Amino acid sequence: MRGRRPVSVILAAALSAVTLLAADVRVTPLIAGGQVLASFAAPDTYSADVRESVQSGLPTTLTYTVELRQSSLIWFDRTLSTATAAAAIKYDALTASYQVTRMTDGQVLSSDRTAKEDDAKKWATEFERVKLSNGDGLEANGEYYVRVRARATPHRSFVLWPWSRDDAAGRADFTFIR
């Protein structure tokens, strides 16, 4: 009986750690015309909880924070610029269609309607060429990285942790060549 308790505690801790891991975001930094852009895909952010929330007719937003950062050996990494991309999804049960509105830094990029959930999921989880910097202030041949953090709202599950955590995250390193 005594030997089982430590094993069950270790198993419970391992399962808790697995559930706290964020899903992956595939990030691709792009340098075009001296500008730094980022494309990313985060299909795992459209989780079962998000799907359930959307299917209930509740407006659901997937928000992506895209950061251009420079590593630092001594102190915290420096954030050079930030962009916010978001996709608002609304399911209309009467017409059996999804309305997906995509925004970057508060400006609407597109607003599309579809009857296919797969199309709505793709529109909500993939963004192309999000502008991060026009290249001013970046060192030629400098090492940088793009980090994308995703968050779905509203949350349908209750978490006892008082600070929010990301639903998904990804990072891609690159060298800025002018």
d(CA 57, CA 91) in angstroms, rounded, equals: 5
Residue 10 lies in a domain: no
Query: For residue range 53-91, what is the model confidence (pLDDT) as tens digits?
Result: 999 999 999 999 999 999 988 889 999 999 999 999 999
Residue 13 lies in a domain: no
Residue with the two structure tokens 């750690």? 17
Cα 163 to Cα 9, 82, 98, 159, 160, distances in angstroms? 24, 21, 31, 9, 9
Residue 2 lies in a domain: no
Tokens of 72: 């630092």
Taken in order 73, 151, 163, 106, the sign of the CA dihedral is positive
Residue 35 lies in a domain: yes
Residue 121 lies in a domain: yes
**What average pLDDT does range 93-120 have in this prediction?**
96
Residue 5 lies in a domain: no
Residue 137 lies in a domain: yes
Residue 155 lies in a domain: yes
What's the pLDDT at 91? 97
**What average pLDDT does range 15-35 have in this prediction?**
71
The one-character DSSP state at 34 is: T
Cα 4 to Cα 1, 7, 9, 10, distances in angstroms? 6, 5, 9, 10
How many structural domains is the chain composed of? 1
Q: For residue 34, is it left (φ>0), alpha (ψ between -120 and 50) or beta?
A: left
Domain range for residue 113?
25-176
Averaged confidence pLDDT in the chain: 85
pTM assigned to the model: 0.82
Burial (0-12, 13-18, 19+ Cβ within 10 Å), 150: buried
